[in-house]
Amino acid sequence: MTTSALVTPISLSNDLLTGAEWTPAHTLDLLQLSAEIKARPGRYASSLTGRFIALIFEKPSLRTRVTFDVGIQSMGGSVVFLDHTQASASLGARESIADVARNLDRWVHGIVARVYKQKVLEEMAASATIPVINALSDKFHPCQALADFFTLEEKFGSLRGFKLAYVGDGNNVCHSLMYLAARLGVHLRIATPHDYKPEPEVVADSKRVAKETKAKIELMTDPQEAVAGAQGVYTDAWTSMGFESEGAVRSAVFAPYQVNHELMALADPNAVFMHCLPAHRGLEVTPEVLDGPQSVVLDQSENRMYVQKAILHTLF
């Protein structure tokens, strides 16, 4: 890893599987490093020279694929793309996950994997000595959450005490937002239908860390209560990849959680709207909000690359 940067390299876990591996101080340092890389990309143009990174994708992707690919190459590294998006090429079908990881361990310097099941990442990390980065799983999306809070820090400065509302499904993005909010001192209010709450163990761990940082993690079912006075309003697709069979049921259950003009009007006048994309206009968010002046969704998308470059620079 290049050490000529202005920002001191961070000492982190060898892997990024959830975001919970990192201390509050490490999380803050990584956001600082992301800002440094965004401001002075040339200083990091050789950080990955001679490094080969395997990208393993079980799910379709636009932002994750492009930002990792471009980010790695812009730092002098090389990408080996392994497409497992077809049923015939399902990861673990031809040979075990452990064998895949052990073989890659001999050829490349790291693995970035976008998978259906979190346990696949855990098995890879247990079987390989090289870093494994979670580029999305059914339980967590740490790269996205880091980019989200980096975007908020750019626009609002210090995040301690920042009021963020999340409205919708207690899914992988929600889980990662909780882990990172707890580490950054953010006040996060989460409104979900009763049967779609985030997982209890994620809530418990987030609240444990929140005691240290003075963050607040609050769960509720009323979206209006969550959004009232919020400085940021976040939503995600009601039906994540892998849950398509539940689409009709979810559309009915989540209808009261749509982020529209009326709901945004309850937030702080200077509040921003956030979405990890892809978005479904007319479902979880209306076009007037998604494409409106309060929306920072494209900033989030752009910042994925800088945060991921910071992760790569740190772990490799």
154-171 confidence digits (pLDDT tens) = 999 999 999 999 999 999
Is 276 one of the annotated active-site residues of the chain?
Answer: yes
Which one from 65, 84, 141, 189 is the annotated catalytic residue? 141
Which one from 144, 231, 300, 308 is the annotated catalytic residue? 144
Q: Residue 57 forms beta bridges with which residues?
A: 83, 114
Is there a single domain that holds both residue 136 and residue 150?
no
Residue span of the structural domain in which 63 resides:
24-140+304-315
Tokens of 79: 């990408």
| Model confidence pLDDT, tens digit, residues 136-145 | 999 999 999 9
Is there a single domain that holds both residue 242 and residue 273?
yes
Q: Which band of pLDDT confidence, cut at 50, 70 and 90, is reported for residue 95?
A: very high
Which one from 63, 84, 109, 114 is the annotated catalytic residue? 114
Backbone angles phi, psi at 80, to 5 degrees: -115, 110
More confidently predicted of 87 and 50: 50
Residue partners of 103: CB distance under 8 A and separation at least 6: none
Which one from 84, 250, 304, 313 is the annotated catalytic residue? 304
Q: Which of 51, 266, 284, 277 is nearest to 167 (CA)?
A: 284
Does a structural domain hold residue 4?
A: no
Lowest mean pLDDT among 2-11, 88-97, 103-112: 2-11
Q: Would strands 52-57 and 187-191 be described as parallel, antiparallel, or unpaired?
A: unpaired
Does a structural domain hold residue 161?
A: yes
Does a structural domain hold residue 293?
A: yes
Is 51 one of the annotated active-site residues of the chain?
Answer: no
Residue partners of 83: CB distance under 8 A and separation at least 6: 57, 89
For the chain, the domain total comes to: 2
Is 250 one of the annotated active-site residues of the chain?
Answer: no
Does a structural domain hold residue 258?
A: yes
Does a structural domain hold residue 6?
A: no
Q: Which band of pLDDT confidence, cut at 50, 70 and 90, is reported for residue 87?
A: low
Is there a single domain that holds both residue 168 and residue 113?
no
Which one from 276, 300, 308, 313 is the annotated catalytic residue? 276
pLDDT of residue 10: 45
Is there a single domain that holds both residue 110 and residue 165?
no
The owner of tokens 């992301």 is: 34
Is there a single domain that holds both residue 85 and residue 233?
no
Is 138 one of the annotated active-site residues of the chain?
Answer: no
pLDDT of residue 1: 33
Q: What percentage of residues in the chain have a pLDDT greater than 70?
A: 95
Does a structural domain hold residue 291?
A: yes
pLDDT of residue 3: 34
Tokens of 222: 């009323």
Is 187 one of the annotated active-site residues of the chain?
Answer: no
Q: Which band of pLDDT confidence, cut at 50, 70 and 90, is reported for residue 2?
A: very low
Is there a single domain that holds both residue 113 and residue 175?
no
Q: Which band of pLDDT confidence, cut at 50, 70 and 90, is reported for residue 90?
A: confident
pLDDT of residue 9: 39
- How far apart CA 277 and CA 12 sit, in angstroms, is 28
Asked if pLDDT for residue 11 goes beyond 50, the answer is no
| Model confidence pLDDT, tens digit, residues 238-259 | 988 777 888 899 999 999 999 9
| Model confidence pLDDT, tens digit, residues 196-254 | 999 999 999 999 999 999 999 999 999 999 999 999 999 999 988 777 888 899 999 99
Which one from 148, 236, 308, 313 is the annotated catalytic residue? 236
Is 261 one of the annotated active-site residues of the chain?
Answer: no
CATH number (domain holding residue 230): 3.40.50.1370
Asked if pLDDT for residue 295 goes beyond 60, the answer is yes
Does a structural domain hold residue 311?
A: yes
Does a structural domain hold residue 268?
A: yes
pLDDT of residue 6: 38
pLDDT of residue 4: 35
Is there a single domain that holds both residue 210 and residue 248?
yes
Q: What percentage of residues in the chain have a pLDDT greater than 90?
A: 90
pLDDT of residue 241: 73
Is there a single domain that holds both residue 158 and residue 281?
yes
What burial letters (b/e) apply to 3-12, b meaning 16+ CB within 10 Å? Answer: eebebeebeb
Is there a single domain that holds both residue 260 and residue 308?
no
| Model confidence pLDDT, tens digit, residues 46-80 | 999 999 999 999 999 999 999 999 999 999 999 99
Is there a single domain that holds both residue 127 and residue 233?
no
Is there a single domain that holds both residue 213 and residue 64?
no
Task: Provide the mean pLDDT of the chain.
Answer: 94
pLDDT of residue 240: 80
Is there a single domain that holds both residue 153 and residue 285?
yes
Any alpha helices (H) in the chain, and if so which ranges?
Answer: 24-39, 63-74, 97-107, 118-127, 142-156, 172-184, 200-213, 223-227, 247-254, 261-264, 287-290, 297-315
Q: Residue 220 forms beta bridges with which residues?
A: 191
